[in-house]
């Protein structure tokens, strides 16, 4: 099969010309995505010989402005051109020790390079050589697997996963991204070798996990992680959500599968990784807070607060960022029950103002999470809850338009308080700022400078700052 008609970008002919003295091929994900008609801006080029030398030759043809980034430790080089990242590497063969996923790498042929690839659909190559330009080289029948939508290893899957256990995560990631099945023997090998994942760095595991989370239907990837046993190793807190307990004929929902429904619901509305993480963690403390009350059945009181407190520890363990992204997830977990409590017609503007203030820039994300959290099988009940959320949104918009509460800072700041009362930093300054903030949230004063200034003067008398 020849793909020369699909290689219309001039850069392919340029690479072919630069590599005229060595065998040169397109390989891996770019070839796979070309056949699947998926957009791809990452191009992998393999040549027999020095990939670094080829990259430099291509850069010379592209012009002086093109820079080559060389990774000597890996024997690879990369350049950027017209929004594409092109990586060059010499064909290699690999061998592994049992205690490491870092291979012993030696120069090799294209055939040996294809043998080291993780899956048949990633072992495809297209020739850039003059005699057979565009010809597909498919030693493991990867084209057939693409048509059948199957993830399969080129060699014995037990050897493939034992050598490089990260490939188990990659198998599930590709299945989730492409909506493919994992071939039975390949999946059984994942089950049998799941413990080997412990030799892989947490950063690499989490990178694959995030790619699964960002797939169009992430629940599929999580189900594969769960049934393979990998999830219990890499993220046991999530596995603890699974299962239903019944006492006196009363059971609760399976919070693992509920969480996956919420995750898919959020994924339909947003590509934000951290909003999706909030969906994953919104009920994470339910196992720790589960209680049975004969009068009402199962309760999970305070799971939102307990869950918010668990977020930093989970992020730290998974080597996820601990700054604004983590704080966003933490706040969404903490607030995910608040909007539904504001449905009542008698709810006060003060309660609405407080939610707006606490949610800040995350208000829209919070409402996406809350709507996705409605997963009842009773569609009339779901419709009722969703309509209630729309009511809450209208109320919140009205209050925000009137009072400008979201992310507000008290109109009178600490500097002005100290200057007015001629005092230095101290607890009185913080107390005055807090009381002004509370007065605005409670609606006792408007969110403007003049009313805040007058209250500041009154508070000065209260705290003995004015005789």
Q: Which residues pair with 70 in a beta bridge?
A: 77
Examine the pLDDT at 236 and tell me if it is beyond 60.
yes
DSSP label of 64: T
Nearest to 127 by CA among 114, 141, 146: 114
Examine the pLDDT at 249 and tell me if it is beyond 90.
no
Residue 77 is predicted with a pLDDT of: 93
DSSP label of 439: H
The domain segmentation of the chain, as residue ranges, is 4-148, 414-462
Residue whose token pair is 């003995």: 464
Q: CB–CB of 58/14 below 8 Å?
A: yes
CA distances to 43, 90, 294, 317, 464 from 53, rounded to whole Å, are 17, 9, 74, 41, 78
What digits encode the pLDDT tens for the residues 92-109?
876 656 555 565 666 778
Examine the pLDDT at 253 and tell me if it is beyond 90.
no
Q: What is the pTM of this model?
A: 0.86
Rounded average pLDDT over 147-152:
97
- As a whole number of angstroms, the distance between CA 30 and CA 233 comes to 32
What digits encode the pLDDT tens for the residues 290-331?
999 888 888 899 999 999 999 999 999 999 999 999 999 999
Our measurement of the distance from residue 97's CA atom to the centroid of its chain's CA atoms, rounded to an integer in Å, reads 32
- As a whole number of angstroms, the distance between CA 317 and CA 205 comes to 12
Write the class of the CATH domain 4-148: alpha beta
Examine the pLDDT at 379 and tell me if it is beyond 90.
no
SS (H, E, C) 34-81: HHHCCCCCEEEEEECCCHHHHHHHHHHHHCCCCCEEEECCCCEEEEEE
Rounded to the nearest integer, the mean pLDDT of the chain is 90
Is the backbone of residue 179 left (phi > 0), alpha (psi -120 to 50) or beta? left
Count the residues in the chain.
467
Residue 380 is predicted with a pLDDT of: 79
- As a whole number of angstroms, the distance between CA 81 and CA 327 comes to 37
Q: Which residues of 415-432 are buried (b: 16+ CB within 10 A; e: fewer)?
A: ebbbebbeeeeeebbeeb
Rounded average pLDDT over 440-448:
87
Alpha helices in 195-294 (DSSP H): 202-213, 218-228, 230-234, 236-239, 255-269, 273-281, 286-289
Residue 237 is predicted with a pLDDT of: 97
Least confident of 33-47, 157-171, 188-202, 335-349: 335-349
Residue 111 is predicted with a pLDDT of: 87
CA distances to 200, 234, 414 from 102, rounded to whole Å, are 10, 20, 56
Rounded average pLDDT over 228-239:
97
Residue 99 is predicted with a pLDDT of: 58
Rounded average pLDDT over 260-282:
97
The token pair at 363 is 């208000």
């Amino acid at each position: 099969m020849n793909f020369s008609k699909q290689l219309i970008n001039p850069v392919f002919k340029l690479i072919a010309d630069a590599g005229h003295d060595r065998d040169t091929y397109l390989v891996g994900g770019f070839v796979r995505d070309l056949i699947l008609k998926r957009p791809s801006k990452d191009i992998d080029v393999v040549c027999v010989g020095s990939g670094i030398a080829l990259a430099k030759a291509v850069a010379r043809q592209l012009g002086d402005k093109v820079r080559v980034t060389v990774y000597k430790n890996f024997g690879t080089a990369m350049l950027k051109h017209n929004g594409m990242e092109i990586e060059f590497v010499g064909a290699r063969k690999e061998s592994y020790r049992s205690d490491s996923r870092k291979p012993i790498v030696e120069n090799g042929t294209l055939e040996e390079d294809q043998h080291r690839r993780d899956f048949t659909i990633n072992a495809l190559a297209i020739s850039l050589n003059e005699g057979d330009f565009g010809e597909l080289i498919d030693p493991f029948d990867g084209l057939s697997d693409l048509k059948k939508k199957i993830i399969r290893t080129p060699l014995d899957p037990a050897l493939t996963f034992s050598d490089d256990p990260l490939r188990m995560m990659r198998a599930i990631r590709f299945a989730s991204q492409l909506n493919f099945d994992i071939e039975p023997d390949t999946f059984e090998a994942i089950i049998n070798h799941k413990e080997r994942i412990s030799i892989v760095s947490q950063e690499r595991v989490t990178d694959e996990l995030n790619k699964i989370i960002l797939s169009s239907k992430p629940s599929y990837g999580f189900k594969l992680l769960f049934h393979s046993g990998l999830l219990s190793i890499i993220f046991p807190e999530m596995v603890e959500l699974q299962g239903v307990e019944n006492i006196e004929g009363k059971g609760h929902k399976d919070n693992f599968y509920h969480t996956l429904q919420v995750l898919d619901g959020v994924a339909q509305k947003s590509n934000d990784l951290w909003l999706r993480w909030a969906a994953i963690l919104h009920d994470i403390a339910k196992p720790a807070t589960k209680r049975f009350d004969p009068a009402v059945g199962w309760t999970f009181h305070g799971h939102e607060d307990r869950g918010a407190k668990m977020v930093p520890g989970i992020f730290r363990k998974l080597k996820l960022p601990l700054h604004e992204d983590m704080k966003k997830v933490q706040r969404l977990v903490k607030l995910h029950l608040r909007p539904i409590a504001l449905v009542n017609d008698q709810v006060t503007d003060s309660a609405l103002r407080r939610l707006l203030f606490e949610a800040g820039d995350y208000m829209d994300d919070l409402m996406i999470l809350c709507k996705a959290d409605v997963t009842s099988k009773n569609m009339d009940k779901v419709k009722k809850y969703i309509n209630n959320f729309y009511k809450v949104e209208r109320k919140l918009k009205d209050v925000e338009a009137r009072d400008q509460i979201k992310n507000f800072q008290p109109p009178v700041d600490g500097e002005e308080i100290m200057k007015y009362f001629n005092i230095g930093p101290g607890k009185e300054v913080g107390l005055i700022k807090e009381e002004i903030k509370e007065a605005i949230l409670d609606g006792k004063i408007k969110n403007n400078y003049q009313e805040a200034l007058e209250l500041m003067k009154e508070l000065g008398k209260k705290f003995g700052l004015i005789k």
